[in-house]
């Protein structure tokens, strides 16, 4: 497989809301009936990060050279760059949104989906504000009867933005996901949400993890470390295959975030990277013919950062087999994924090898290839087809 790879305190600072009924016309967000609460989760985290030998990024010239440093053919790999352990023991504030379905669609309200976005976005990856009835995964999950929690990963959106080299790495992100799943499993999440919400919050009895891209890597790593916290998993936009990593860092068009867009990213320090142009987003995220140009502009308007530590530690997410995981996992891929499949997912993966190498105890390892989509599956024209395929798989496995 190696060749394939490259809570104590829960505070709810903000409000719950049920939007008042509003007229819904085509193109207007459907605000009729959503029961959602914004949460600021305070999570004590212990994780085993590493100190990597990578260059600092403090301006755009550094950013381009960072990509050179990782991508030149004779570059050392991530493991060879490790200079020592970096134990982390810190409390982080993570911004989350919990939404629960309402009758008559609430038959699966006790199943909580926890969705982890990938590089380049925040939790809005799952909840587009542009034509939500066409693009919002959150709306689709609610309509299918699931409860769903989305969150800004450490380093983006309204979550904390600590050191980009030694703190914001895969192991810390996996522990954060595990901490959230732990809150759900212990009932703490529901208890605390009930205290704030103006709607009925169900007791969550099952957990389904859903990831996108880098967030799928975190989801898979979570299954390896905390299999007992998860009943089902969906990895979108990522599969261990012959092309993972082939596009390299150079495909992203990275700039130093604070210099690239000072008004938006003034709160990002050294080592925070962002895609510089709309065309850079198109390169890795979109396939012509299957998206509306205004959706590409929308993606640019909500684009987010990633860290040097995340880029170098990404491969470690897929290294450890999830031998203890007994549930089903679906890989839901985009037909024309550039980053994951170098533009064409057909024939790049071997399901039996994935099962043998990573999920020997899983109830099932499934693959769905979503036709007519680039990497950002939630922002292509047939996003709802992608969602239906995901929900059909979960239903098939009793979730
Ligand atoms: C708006 O959302 C509600 C609740 O999910 C749904 O019943 C209704 O059909 C939606 N309306 C439109 C126009 O999508
Ligand atoms: C970190 O490593 C130590 C020592 O190997 C181990 O005991 C501990 O469980 C690890 N912590 C995590 C969160 O993986
Ligand atoms: C990194 O290189 C070492 C050899 O120096 C090799 O043993 C190891 O498998 C490589 N790691 C990966 C993830 O390719
Ligand atoms: C939309 O996606 C679904 C699920 O993958 C697929 O069955 C359907 O053919 C797609 N529709 C179009 C027009 O591509």
Residue 151 in contact with residue 94, Cβ under 8 Å? yes
Token readout for 125 is: 């990856």
Residues β-bridged to residue 185: none
Long-range contacts of 351-355 (CB under 8 A, 24+ apart): 353/1, 354/239, 354/240
Tens-digit pLDDT string for the chain (399 aa): 333 333 222 333 333 444 433 334 444 444 557 999 999 999 999 999 999 999 999 999 999 999 999 999 999 999 999 999 999 999 999 999 999 999 888 989 999 999 999 999 999 999 999 999 999 999 999 999 999 999 999 999 999 999 999 999 999 999 999 999 999 999 999 999 999 999 999 999 999 999 999 999 999 999 999 999 999 999 999 999 999 888 999 999 999 999 999 999 999 999 999 999 999 999 999 999 999 999 999 999 999 999 999 999 999 999 999 999 999 999 999 999 999 999 999 999 999 999 999 999 999 999 999 999 999 999 999 999 999 999 999 999 999
Q: Which two tokens stand for residue 199?
A: 């709607």
Ligand 1 centroid – CA 21 distance (Å):
11
Ligand 4 midpoint to CA 266 (Å)? 41
In the chain, which residue ranges form alpha helices assigned H by DSSP? 60-71, 132-135, 137-143, 170-186, 188-196, 214-225, 257-260, 262-265, 278-285, 293-301, 308-313, 338-341, 351-358, 383-396
Task: Give Cα separations from 364 to 33, 143, 292, 375 (angstroms).
Answer: 35, 25, 35, 24
Parse the chain into domains and list their residue ranges: 36-396
Our answer on whether the CB atom of 85 is closer than 6 Å to any ligand 2 atom is no
Cα 63 from Cα 256, distance rounded (Å): 6
Smallest CA separation from ligand 2 atom 3, residue: 48
Whose atoms come closest to the Cα of 315: which ligand? 3
Question: How many Å lie between the centroid of ligand 1 and the Cα of residue 126?
Answer: 17
List all residues 6 or more positions away from 234 whose beta carbon is below 8 Å from its beta carbon: 208, 209, 210, 211, 219, 329, 330, 332, 390, 393, 394
Which protein residues touch ligand 4 with a CB less than 6 Å away?
A: 370-372, 382, 385, 388-389
What is the structure's pLDDT at 32?
57
Q: How far is the CA of 70 from the centre of ligand 3 (A)?
A: 14
Domain 36-396, CATH class in plain words: alpha beta
* Residue 93 CA to ligand 1 centre (angstroms): 33
Distance CA(328)–CA(174), nearest Å, equals 19
Cα separation, 150 vs 111, in Å, equals 14
Whether the CB-CB separation of 163 and 269 falls below 8 Å is answered with: yes
For ligand 3, pick from 50, 77, 312 the residue to mutate: most ligand atoms within 8 Å of CB: 77
In this prediction the pTM is 0.91
Pocket of ligand 3 (CB under 6 A): 2, 5, 77, 79-80, 315
pLDDT in the model for residue 6? 31
Atom 2 of ligand 4, residue of closest alpha carbon: 385
């Amino acid at each position: 497989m190696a060749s394939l790879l490259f809570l104590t305190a829960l505070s709810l600072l903000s409000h719950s809301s049920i939007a008042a009924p509003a007229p819904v016309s085509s193109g207007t967000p459907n605000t009729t009936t959503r029961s959602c609460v914004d949460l600021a989760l305070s999570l004590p985290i212990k994780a085993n990060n590493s100190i990597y030998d990578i260059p600092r990024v403090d301006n755009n010239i550094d950013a381009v050279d960072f990509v050179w440093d990782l991508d030149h053919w004779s570059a050392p790999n991530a493991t060879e760059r490790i200079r020592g352990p970096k134990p982390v023991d810190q409390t982080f504030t993570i911004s989350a949104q919990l939404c629960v379905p309402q009758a008559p669609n609430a038959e699966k309200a006790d199943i909580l989906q926890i969705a982890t976005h990938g590089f380049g976005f925040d939790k809005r990856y799952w909840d587009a504000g542009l034509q939500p009835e066409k693009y919002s995964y959150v709306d689709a999950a609610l309509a299918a009867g699931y409860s769903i929690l989305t969150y800004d990963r450490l380093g983006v959106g309204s979550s904390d933005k600590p050191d980009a080299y030694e703190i914001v790495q895969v192991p810390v992100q996996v522990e954060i996901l595990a901490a959230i799943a732990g809150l759900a499993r212990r009932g703490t999440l529901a208890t605390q949400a009930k205290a704030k919400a103006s709607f009925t919050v169900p007791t969550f009895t099952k957990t389904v993890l859903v990831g996108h891209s880098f967030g799928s890597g975190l989801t898979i790593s979570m299954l390896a470390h905390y299999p007992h916290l998860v009943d089902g998993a969906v990895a979108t936009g990522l599969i261990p295959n012959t092309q993972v990593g082939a596009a390299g860092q150079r495909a992203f068009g990275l700039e130093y975030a604070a210099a690239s867009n000072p008004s938006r990213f003034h709160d990002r320090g050294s080592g925070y990277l962002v895609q510089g142009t709309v065309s850079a987003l198109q390169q890795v995220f979109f396939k012509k013919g299957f998206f509306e140009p205004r959706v590409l502009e929308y993606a640019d308007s909500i684009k987010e950062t990633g860290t040097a530590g995340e880029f170098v530690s990404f491969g470690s997410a897929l290294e450890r087999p999830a031998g203890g995981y007994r549930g089903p996992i679906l890989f839901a891929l985009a037909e024309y994924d550039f980053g994951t499949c170098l533009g064409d997912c057909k024939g790049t993966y071997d399901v039996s090898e994935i099962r043998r190498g990573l999920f020997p105890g899983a109830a099932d390892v499934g693959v769905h290839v979503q036709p007519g989509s680039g990497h950002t599956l939630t922002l292509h024209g047939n996003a709802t087809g992608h969602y239906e395929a995901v929900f059909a798989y979960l239903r098939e496995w009793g979730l």
